[in-house]
Structure 1
Amino acid sequence: HFDLIISDVMMPKMDGFELSRYVRRDGKSQPILIITAKSEIEDMQTGFKSGADDYMSKPINLKELVLRVHALLRRAKIANEKRLLIGGSELDYDTLSVRTEGEQISLAPKEFRLLFLLLSYAGRIFTRFEIMSEIWGYETDSDERVVDTHIKKLRAKFENSKDFEIITVRGLGYKAVKKERA
């Protein structure tokens, strides 16, 4: 069992794109990071279309590689933990649904993924950059303030939650905190 696959495009018997297609065709969901000297957008598209989750061009910055690996492993862990129970609230990753006290709460996919991320690591502070990379991906053109908008929407939808609240940690980011039930 592998937690993560890091592959170069140029390999002797099978290139990294073929490897990605093979892994996905076999039904495996491990994150795949492709490393290559090819930095053209067409090559990146081929990589992502073949099943890769992330793509880096050489020369590789080791600190960036480590950050990307950690982000891919975090996403994989969250995706594997399909259901979260927090008090009377249940989040189901397969259906992107939230039930609180038996009531279905409608969320947009990114709102759901953001809430699932925060509640999966309740008490941990996430910076906007971390949230952006987890939910929107590294290659996004979105402004970091889009995180603030999604947090505001989540707070409005869960303002009466007896199970958790989303807190701003001034100058750092956001975290979800579980509430004690009486």
Structure 2
Amino acid sequence: MRILVVEDDSAIAEGLCAGLRDSGHAVDHLADGRQARVALEERTHDLLVLDLGLPYLSGDRLLQELRKQQNPLAVFIVTARDSMEERIRVLDLGADDYLVKPFAYAEFAARVRALLRRQVAHGRPEMLLGRLRLDIAGRRGWVGDRELELTAREFGLLSALAARQERLTSRSQLIEAVCDWNEELTDNGLDIAVHRLRRKLENSGASVRTVRGLGYILKVDDKAA
């Protein structure tokens, strides 16, 4: 999954980004609200982790703008503002969750998983695709009772394809889903990763089909369920 962290405290941002990347997410980081506004117009993210006290454009103002635009992106507020009135105000603006600094990373990670489950799987804890079962937020998959051994990149590709099952996912969409701004994935690298993923999905009822020159489609054989 692709996550944007907007936090101007470099130490906090470094810790959050490192933890999220260790969990297999593609993570982008910005330190001010105006840059975040531009990034959200140009990029597709699955979750926004947002501080309120940002330079140039505050986090609550950015949140207001997103909701006025009817942008459904999940927004997780992390802030030092700890009053009940502030929590209520920001949640009423449209935040999906609110966590007060300082906090334990384990709690932050658990809340991220819960938000991603709601965002990607539409409230379902798991996705069922033939015999393939996916826990998107937990980044685990099974074929029947057998757990798949997937790299972070392979799971990123699979979750991006699963979110658009039976629809074309372009090569650029897949690369964006698994790479943050500091990474690159060549066309050849993408083809190799998809080839390895195909092998691991054998006998699952889910298969990755190539649309030459355009991208890939995850096809599901419901009879295999």
Which of 167, 179, 184 is the equivalent residue of 1:124? 167
Q: Is residue 114 of structure 2 the alignment partner of residue 71 of structure 1? A: no
CA RMSD of aligned residues (A): 3.7
**8 Å Cα contact 2:4/2:45 also seen in 1:** no
Q: Give 5+ residue unaligned stretches, structure 2.
A: 18-27, 48-71, 75-113
Partner SS, residue 122 of structure 1: coil
TM-score (norm 1): 0.60
Output aligned runs, 1:43-54, within 5 Å: 48-49=13-14, 51=16, 53-54=28-29
What is the match of residue 17 of structure 1?
8
**Identity value in percent:** 23
Q: Give 5+ residue unaligned stretches, structure 1.
A: 8-15, 19-44
> How far apart, in 2, do the equivalents of 1:75 and 1:168 lie?
29
TM-score (norm 2): 0.50
CA deviations on 1:102-159 (whole Å, 9 max, x unpaired) are 2222111211121122112102222222111111123313323221111100111123
CA deviations on 1:64-105 (whole Å, 9 max, x unpaired) are 65231x334599699333521223221123543221122222
Higher RCO by CA contacts (8 Å cutoff, separation 6 or greater)? 2
Q: Is residue 127 of structure 2 the alignment partner of residue 153 of structure 1? A: no
What is the match of residue 210 of structure 2?
168
Q: Is residue 144 of structure 2 the alignment partner of residue 101 of structure 1? A: yes
**8 Å Cα contact 1:89/1:98 also seen in 2:** yes
**8 Å Cα contact 1:75/1:134 also seen in 2:** no
Given residue 89 of structure 1, which amino acid in structure 2 is its aligned partner? L
**8 Å Cα contact 1:159/1:165 also seen in 2:** yes
Return closer, same or farther for 1:75/1:92 CA change in 2, 3 Å cut-off: farther
**8 Å Cα contact 1:97/1:105 also seen in 2:** yes
